[in-house]
A = this chain, B = another copy of it.
């Protein structure tokens, strides 16, 4: 079997689920004839028709709410945000209406909200965001943020089958840069399980999405140049979070670096640190440290974006600091 890109893997996952279940349909801006701003849904209109691939007006709150209504009636909508940055326009609808539907009114709300997220692509402050932390304190939502094609396919399929609303973030930097051969046959990855992307013994890096690749790059350098053995844990799911996997890696290396692309203040690293403290404080031989974006809106010029975002060299330095500790 030939290699497929991260983007193609998502498309495969969506179209397999559309084949399997006629209640699955797509809503979003320019996803039909145009195939979406990044072409994730390319070919799906031709394959499944206008009833199942619906171009919407520019109304994120409108079509997220509409997805919820359709979901109540037994459909399984998959909503595309043209860029995930625009999910902020549906923040009320997602956190107040969708997230609470089952709890307050026993309304099933199986739906997926997906879209291209993340930086390193000179997208500027409004086409580079990582909104996961804004939804972390919203019980009723699930959050998935994969880093490999296989996980992207397996998780989008699980997200579409999930009985609740799943926010599915697709890092656009990975869309065409990351390729792999996918497992043959039906491939599902359960929501809520992390993945050890690289095994190691000295320091653990807990991360997700694009920075998984930077962590792996750093881990290789650290092994080669400094003889430091790094374990990289790819969370894959952020809500629910895989506490068991976090505890396991902490107990193994006793030193933890959390890496993410969102700003350091208020990013998800805080929650992870709190859980580590709560669950395995005694196993820590060093403070849990963070490598994340500087606390500014993400600027557009390459020199500025590169400075603001976490880089492989930053991870290398931080891990060495932890190893020396």
User: A residues within 8 Å of B by Cβ?
Assistant: 85-86, 88-89, 91-92, 95-96, 99-100, 103-104, 125-126, 133-140, 239, 262-263, 265-274, 277-278, 281-282, 284, 286-290, 295-297
A269 neighbours in B (Cβ, 8 Å): 274
Return the chain B residue nearest A103 by Cβ.
B297
- B88, A92: Cβ atoms under 8 Å? yes
A88 to B134, CA, bound (A): 11
- B274, A288: Cβ atoms under 8 Å? yes
Return the chain B residue nearest A290 by Cβ.
B274
A281 to B138, CA, bound (A): 29
A87 to B216, CA, bound (A): 40
19 A-B pairs (CB sep. < 8 Å): A103-B125, A104-B297, A133-B137, A135-B266, A137-B263, A137-B267, A138-B266, A266-B271, A270-B274, A273-B277, A274-B274, A277-B277, A277-B288, A278-B287, A278-B288, A278-B289, A281-B286, A281-B288, A282-B287
Return the chain B residue nearest A269 by Cβ.
B274
User: Given that A271-B266, A277-B273 are contacting pairs, would A139 and B96 also be in contact in the complex, using a CB cutoff of 8 Å?
Assistant: no
**CB within 8 A of A239: which of B86, B265, B271, B282?**
B265
User: Given that A125-B104, A140-B297, A297-B139 are contacting pairs, would A265 and B273 also be in contact in the complex, using a CB cutoff of 8 Å?
Assistant: no
